[in-house]
């Protein structure tokens, strides 16, 4: 087998149509064979642009024997049941973040994947962003990490009025996108969180609001003993057009590595030899981060190797995000299981 035959669940809109399908189209080692979506108009557009056989039913699509990998880009609340169905059908799975909506769902996904003997990875794609790669590389020159921080501020996303992501049951933006933040910084410090404490608030001066808080700050203690802070700030609502900003940094025993959007989008390393500015290169093969992520999963299947992001790692990342929301609600520190 020299090509991976891939099917996209949820390819008729959102990140499936906007990011995953064009990424798949750019890869020589994958072949798109099917696309599934309940949205008939979006499904028609996806197939017209990228090919593949259309399906309105995931179960019908999973009956095909010529599918090696299912790329799950459906809404968050469907990730667990879609993953379990795909695994039981003997398909490898790449699942968009967040992995699940609860730890019990994640446990059921793990059981299904292990029983089926298929490969699984959560699409925590910031590891393939040039700036993410640059920060990770910079961290190799600053000694042992003792502190990390991830700050992001701007407006909340303009979801449609009836969107699931406006609802309380979505659990808020730190669950939806926080897996990116926690995965990236945990990767950079080479350790997962052991406990988390968080606070949150909601500020909506207009009627354009979510049912969840749009500000959360979480403090974590990593298993290594290092500490970290995650700040998701979507309070900048009015007037429209506020310039968003992102800043990541890791403090080590021998220096500090930093990346931020207001500094020319480059990485800075502060150490004993002074300040260095490592070049932040795009992907060496010219692929965008989504293509690089999908290519990695395809290569793991082709060469029978484990994905670089393991399931237990992603469960711990999910537990941190869920724990932060729980801590903000209860005011209590939440311990993250280490198994």
pLDDT tens per residue, range 79-122? 999 999 999 999 999 999 999 999 999 999 999 999 999 999 99
Burial (CB count <10 Å: 0-12, 13-18, 19+), residue 283: middle
What confidence score (pLDDT) does residue 248 get?
93
Would you say 260 and 247 are in contact if contact means Cβ atoms under 8 Å apart? Answer: yes
Q: Could you read off the pLDDT of 225-271 as tens digits, one per residue?
A: 999 999 999 887 656 667 788 999 999 999 999 988 876 667 888 88
β-sheet with 4-9: strand ranges across? 53-55, 30-36, 4-9, 69-72, 92-96, 120-123
- The segment(s) of the chain belonging to CATH 3.30.360.10 are 127-285+318-335
Tokens (6 digits) for 158: 């303009």
Average pLDDT value for residue range 261-282: 72
What confidence score (pLDDT) does residue 203 get?
86
- Domain 4-118 CATH (choose: 3.40.50.2020, 3.40.50.300, 3.30.930.10, 3.40.50.720): 3.40.50.720
Say what the alpha-carbon torsion angle 156, 160, 161, 167 is, to the nearest 10 degrees. Answer: -60
Determine the Cα–Cα distance for residues 169 and 43; give it in Å rounded to an integer.
Answer: 26
- The segment(s) of the chain belonging to CATH 3.40.50.720 are 4-118
What confidence score (pLDDT) does residue 186 get?
98
Closest CA to 184 of 284, 69, 321, 79: 321
What confidence score (pLDDT) does residue 183 get?
98
Would you say 124 and 97 are in contact if contact means Cβ atoms under 8 Å apart? Answer: yes
Query: Per-residue confidence at 152, pLDDT binned at 50, 70, 90?
Result: very high
Number of Cβ within a 10 Å radius of residue 308: 15
Query: Per-residue confidence at 339, pLDDT binned at 50, 70, 90?
Result: low
Fold category of 127-285+318-335 in CATH: Dihydrodipicolinate Reductase; domain 2 (3.30.360)
Is pTM beyond 0.85? Reply is yes
Would you say 34 and 64 are in contact if contact means Cβ atoms under 8 Å apart? Answer: yes
What confidence score (pLDDT) does residue 264 get?
61
What confidence score (pLDDT) does residue 244 get?
80
Query: Cα dist. 254→76, 218, 273, 274, 305 in Å?
Result: 40, 25, 10, 11, 34
Average pLDDT value for residue range 14-35: 96
- pLDDT(281) > 70: no
Q: What percent of the chain has pLDDT over 70?
A: 94
What confidence score (pLDDT) does residue 238 get?
59
């Amino acid at each position: 087998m020299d090509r991976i035959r891939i099917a996209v669940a949820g390819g008729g809109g959102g990140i499936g149509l906007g990011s995953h399908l064009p990424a798949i189209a750019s890869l020589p080692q994958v072949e798109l064979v099917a696309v599934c979506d309940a949205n008939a108009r979006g499904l028609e557009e996806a197939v017209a642009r990228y090919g593949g056989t259309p399906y309105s039913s995931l179960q019908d699509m999973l009956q095909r024997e010529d599918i090696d990998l299912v790329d799950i880009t459906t809404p968050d609340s469907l990730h667990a049941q879609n993953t379990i169905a795909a695994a039981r059908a003997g398909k490898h799975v790449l699942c968009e973040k967040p992995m699940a909506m609860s730890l019990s769902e994640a446990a059921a996904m793990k059981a299904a994947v292990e029983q089926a003997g298929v490969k699984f990875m959560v699409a925590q794609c910031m590891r393939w962003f040039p700036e993410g790669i640059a920060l990770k590389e910079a961290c190799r020159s600053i000694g042992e990490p003792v502190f990390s921080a991830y700050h992001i501020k701007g407006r909340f996303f303009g979801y449609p009025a009836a969107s699931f992501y406006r609802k309380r049951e979505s659990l808020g933006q730190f669950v939806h996108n926080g897996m990116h933040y926690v995965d990236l910084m945990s990767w950079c410090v080479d350790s997962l969180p052991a406990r988390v404490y968080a606070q949150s608030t909601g500020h909506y001066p207009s009627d354009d609001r979510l049912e969840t808080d749009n500000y959360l700050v979480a403090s974590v203690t990593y298993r290594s003993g290092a500490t970290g802070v995650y700040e998701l700030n979507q309070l900048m609502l009015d007037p429209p057009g506020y310039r968003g900003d992102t800043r990541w940094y890791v403090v080590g025993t021998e220096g500090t590595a930093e990346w931020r959007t207001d500094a020319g989008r480059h990485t800075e390393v502060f150490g004993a030899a002074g300040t260095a500015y490592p070049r932040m290169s795009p992907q060496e093969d010219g692929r965008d981060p989504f293509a690089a992520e999908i290519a990695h999963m395809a290569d793991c299947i082709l060469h029978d190797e484990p994905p670089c992001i393991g399931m237990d790692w992603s469960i711990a990342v999910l537990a941190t995000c869920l724990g932060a929301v729980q801590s903000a609600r209860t005011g209590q520190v939440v311990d993250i299981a280490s198994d």
